[in-house]
Structures are given as structure tokens and as C-alpha cells.
Amino acid sequence: MDLKYQASRQWARIQDQFITEDAAVDLTNLKSDPRNFKLALWDPSTNGIRYLKALTYQLGMDLSPEDWARIKRTPHREIGDPISVRCEGETLCMDYVQATFELGFIEARMDLHGARVMEIGAGYGRSAHMIMSNHDIADYCIVDLTNTLELSSAYLRRTLDRDRYGRIRFIPVESLDEAALRTERFDLCLNIHSMTEMRPETVNAYLDLIDRTCSHFYVKNPVGKYIDKSLDGYLQGQEAVEMALENGPLRQLLDIHDSEAVQAAVPAFIEGYRPNDGWECLGDGRAVPWSYLWQALYRNPLADRAEPAR
């Protein structure tokens, strides 16, 4: 008999291995085990790239004209073979989606023309790349660990023209002392997702440096710590988790995927990253798309009394 409506070979295999005869006996974990991964979802443990691309695509299709303008003014984003999608004819990766969001947040609250900028912990340099590509920055000082400085220097040398690259200084943290940078003035300091990984006393030292030398401070970091083995299976081991929990100015545990828990942690974030009591918070908000990353821009009223060096 010709069975027109029989299962395909693909679904015969799925029925045999995943949606078996006893699949309906126990609904415990139905929506987070292979039954649902074959019915409705892609298994996140093996489809991380698929989900990252889907998220990047969704964000890309919702970018504002201003977001796109900043991205298009930032050349050579393809260097390093990022995990990318194409939106509106442009290649786009999550790093530069984040960079345009961050710069947009800052631009709405301060003037960057001719600014002197210090970034503490620049990673491979995506933020510096976008800021230098979009604004006439007088001086950009990156403070970081030696090996990371080598990486950001190599990346920015390839992505920026000679003139812009020549305005960047690379300062290893090992060379910082009581005199270093304290006689300079910066219009803006940035820290993006690295103070949370520093010893509390190191964070305090940097906040003191910012208070002494900067007129604005942009920060983007987690509102607290979390323990959730389901996210990555503790791939780096229990010791790595314990080391992460002991760092940063905010070490309280919370459910990072509970909006009320995250919102309740925001006041402590605002105070924890305020360089000094006199600093005014010009604005804060969730760092889309992450549930637990928050951002804020502070201004030092006392800095208005002294013209920053140009």
C-alpha cells in the first residue's frame, strides 16, 4: 500500500531516538531536553553560533539610522573574521552592534569633539576603533595588561589610518604608579566589562584615578554576580567560577534573568561605580541585549573649573 502520509526518514529517526513511545510519560524537563530541541528549539548547547547570529540579525534589523551611520564610518570591521550576518547590505557582528550602542549612549550626553579619552581595559580595541572613526579625538590613552595591549595595538594599527593610530597611547598597568597620568586631564574615561573582573582594591584605585583626572566616566558592567551552571556548564572549572565571584565592586548574587532582581540591583551599581560622591549620574540604562549588564555616564562638576589640556 502506498502510504502518502508516512514519516520522512528524518522524522522516523527522530521518533526512534528522541520522541519515543514513552516521551509523554514524564513531562519533567520537557521544554529543556532533546524532546523539545527536536520539536521547537535548537539545542543551545550545540547551536550557540546559530543563536548568536539570530540575535545579531534581530538587533541589526532594528538599528536606527544613527547606529548604522556610526557603523558605516568604522572601516575594516571584517579584520579578525568575526561571526557575522548581513543586514541592509552591511556585514555586521555583535561586537560592533555593542560599540554603536555604547557610543550612541555617550554622544547623547556629552560632546566628544576634540576630546581626550582614557579607556581602562580596551580588549582588542573595538570601542577605540569606533570612537576614533567617528570623532576627531585629540588623544586616546589605553591602559591595560601588557599582552592585551599588544593585541589592541596590532588590531588598531590595521583598522585605523596612520594619523588616527598615531593619537593612541598604550599604557601597561605594570607601569602605573602614583605619578603616572595624575597630572593629565581627560574628558572621558571608559570601562566596559572589565572592572567586574578586577580585585576590589584595584577598582578603587582606578576610580580614584578617574576622579583626579577625568570630567566624565562611562561604565558598562554587570549589576552583580550569578551562579548558573546551565549557562556554560562551568567549562573553565569550579576554580574559575570562584575567582570570578571574588572580583569587582559588586559581588552580591542575583538571578540575572529576573528583571525585578536586576532592577533592584541598579542603585548599588550607580553608587558602586560613582568615582566620588560629587559625581553626577547623567544617565543610566540596561545595556541591550544583555539582561544583567548596565551602563551609566557620570560627570565630575569640579572638572568644569579647569580647562582640560589639549
The per-residue pLDDT for 125 is 96
Is 85 exposed, middle or buried (CB count within 10 Å of its CB: 0-12, 13-18, 19+)? buried
pLDDT digits (tens, 9 = 90+) for 57-80: 999 999 999 999 999 999 999 999
Q: Does residue 7 contact residue 15 with C-beta atoms inside 8 Å?
A: yes
CA distances from residue 10 to 13, 47, 223 in whole angstroms, order as listed: 5, 19, 45
| 3-state SS, one letter per residue, for 220-234 | EEECCECCCCCCCCC
What is the rounded CA–CA span in Å between residue 265 and residue 269? 6
pLDDT digits (tens, 9 = 90+) for 79-135: 999 999 999 999 999 999 999 999 999 999 999 999 999 999 999 999 999 999 999
What is the rounded CA–CA span in Å between residue 134 and residue 161? 13
The per-residue pLDDT for 46 is 84
SS3 state at 139: strand
Mean pLDDT score of the chain: 89
Centre a 10 Å sphere on the Cβ of residue 88 and count the other Cβ atoms it contains: 10
Q: Partners of 304 in the beta sheet? A: none
pLDDT digits (tens, 9 = 90+) for 231-290: 666 666 666 656 666 777 878 888 889 999 999 999 999 999 999 999 999 999 999 999
pLDDT digits (tens, 9 = 90+) for 26-46: 989 888 888 888 888 888 888
pLDDT digits (tens, 9 = 90+) for 184-193: 999 999 999 9
Among 52-56, 198-202, 226-230, 266-270, whose mean pLDDT is lowest? 226-230
Among 132, 131, 125, smallest CA distance to 156 is for: 125
Among 152, 120, 145, 300, smallest CA distance to 220 is for: 120
pLDDT digits (tens, 9 = 90+) for 173-223: 988 876 678 889 999 999 999 999 888 889 999 999 999 999 999 999 999
First-to-last alpha carbon distance for the chain, in angstroms, is 87
What is the rounded CA–CA span in Å between residue 7 and residue 293? 45
The per-residue pLDDT for 244 is 64
| 3-state SS, one letter per residue, for 73-128 | CCCCCCCCCCCEEEECCEEEEHHHHHHHHHHHHHHCCCCCCCCEEEEECCCCCHHH
Spell out the domain ranges in the chain: 29-96, 109-305
Which top CATH class is 109-305? Answer: alpha beta
The per-residue pLDDT for 123 is 93
